[in-house]
Every structure is written in structure tokens, then in C-alpha cells.
Amino acid sequence: MKPSSDIARLLDIMAALRTPETGCPWDLEQDFASIAPYTLEEAYEVVDAIERGDLADLRDELGDLLLQVVFHARMAEEKGAFAFPDVVEAITRKLIRRHPHVFGNAGSLAPEQVKVLWDEIKREEKAERRLAREAMGLPPETHQAGFLGGIPTALPALTRAQKLTAKAAKVGFDWPEPGQVIDKIHEELEEVKEASSTGSRDRIEDEIGDLLFSVTNLARHFGIDPEAALRRTNAKFERRFGAVEEALREQGRTLGEASLDEMEDLWVKAKSAERRD
């Protein structure tokens, strides 16, 4: 079997990998749950390639992510639930329906109007999906009920916190000013200090969670993606720590041979060098 740019070839390869007796033993033993972590990992690797500006790597990572879609669709087809063409049909139908200003007669709309229309159509789709499941005798969707329902629990915690606060803000449950969120952060930090004095791990974890939630809320107020902000800081920490390690290597020493004060001094120098650049 030769490589091809035709999606049909990828579907054929996936089918061959999942064919009993002649397929790949590893692929055959997988199910939706076992593949899900790989799906998340591949999505993150796509983001990583984008942030590094590596388009060659992005091409490969998008292929890996597409494989995840094909893998899930194949397993669903084996169960008689749906197949890859159904996935394509579902997303094309959704895109056409959610863009009546492009594919329908809604006319020209401003970006804010598009967002309002998008949310309205999503609500209609959710109601229709619920009625369809009832008509088919299927159980209700497993998403949490209520106004905040529908935000996937598998999202990274920072991203989910941002979406939760953004959705609550739509009905006015929000701090009006960023300064009030900053005050809340100071309040939560004091509660972390109080919890730390008790020695209770559960209480400390709760208070640190509250602190992180408030910081995420602050990021949303400034239009900043908290996940992107933290990834940026992670990269900065990694870069500066690498500079400390390199400086010690030039001295013929290792990290384990340096004191905290020495490493801190090299850290400050690395930080200053970055600012000069």
C-alpha cells in the first residue's frame, strides 16, 4: 500500500490496521477511552508547532491529529454507530447552518453580530439534538445540566475555568472591573497563607485552586488566554534555566555543584540579557 494525498487511502489504511487477524495487534486492542489521551496529546502538539512557527512540523502534526479523527470514526463504524463520511457531513452541515451570512440570506454582519447569531444557532442545535435523542429512545447527553452545562470536563483546567467564567459573565455574574478581580486574588492569596498554617493538604489544595481560578478570571478580563500565558512562562523558565546550566557548564561545573545563591545570580544575569536583547 502506497502513500497518497487522497483521504480514502488513509481510511483504507486505518481499516487494514483494525482488521481482525491481519491487522496491527496494538491498534486492534484500542478503544475510544484508550485513544482519547493520544487525541489530546496530538492537539497540543499542533498548538506547539504553531507557537514555534514551524510549518513543516505543523503539516505532520495536523496529519497525526487527522489520524485520531479517522481512528475514532473507524471504531464507531465497527460498532454500527457512524462512519467517517458522517463526521464530514455533520461538520459541513454545522458550518453552513452557523454561517447564514455567508451561505444563507442573513446578509452582511459585523463580527459582534456573528457571535450573537452563532450562540443563538448553537442553542437551537442543542434543543434539536435533545429532542432527536428522545425520539430515538436514547439517554440524555452526559454533559452537566444547567446554564454552565456543555463545557467539556476534559479541557485543560485553566481553559475550562476561563470558559466557565465567560459563560457566567453573559448573565451578569462577573466582576465589572479588573481591579476587583485583583483584589479577589489578594484575598485568595491570604486564604492560601491561612490554610498553609493548618497543615491540611485538602484545605491548601482548595485555596490554591481558588487562587488559580481567580487568576484565570483576571486573564479573561484582559482578553488573555491563560493557557497561552502559562505556556509562554513555561518556555521562559525553561530558556532561562538552560542559560544557568550553560553558564555553569562553561565554568566546568554541574547544576548539582552550584549553590542556590549562585544559580539565582546566574538566573538574574540571564534575565537581564534577555531584556537587553
Quick check: 35 pLDDT over 70?
yes
* 78: number of Cβ within 10 Å: 12
Q: Which CATH number fits domain 7-98: 3.50.30.50, 1.10.287.1080, 1.10.287.130, 2.30.30.140?
A: 1.10.287.1080
Q: Which residues, 6 or more positions from 273, have their beta carbon under 8 angstroms from its beta carbon?
A: 243
For residue 124, the model assigns a pLDDT of: 85
pLDDT band at 142 (very low <50, low <70, confident <90, very high): low
Of residues 201 and 136, more confidently modeled: 201
pLDDT band at 128 (very low <50, low <70, confident <90, very high): confident
Domain 157-224 of CATH type 1.10.287.1080: yes
Backbone angles phi, psi at 199, to 5 degrees: 75, 5
What does the alpha-carbon distance between residue 268 and residue 277 come to, in Å, rounded to a whole number? 14
What does the alpha-carbon distance between residue 9 and residue 22 come to, in Å, rounded to a whole number? 18
Cβ–Cβ under 8 Å, residues 171 and 147: yes
37-49 pLDDT tens trace: 899 999 989 998 9
Residue ranges per domain, the chain? 7-98, 105-142, 157-224, 228-276
What does the alpha-carbon distance between residue 150 and residue 147 come to, in Å, rounded to a whole number? 8
Model pTM above 0.75: no
Average pLDDT along the chain: 91
For residue 143, the model assigns a pLDDT of: 57
Establish how many alpha carbons lie within 13 A of residue 180's alpha carbon, considering only the half-sphere containing its beta carbon: 5
2-11 pLDDT tens trace: 777 899 999 9
In the block, cell 466557565 appears at 164
Cβ–Cβ under 8 Å, residues 143 and 150: yes
Quick check: 139 pLDDT over 80?
no
- Relative orientation angle of helices 7-17 and 55-78, to the nearest 10 degrees: 60
For residue 1, the model assigns a pLDDT of: 65
DSSP-derived secondary structure for 231-254: HHHHHHHHHHHHHHHHHHHHTT--
Quick check: 114 pLDDT over 90?
no
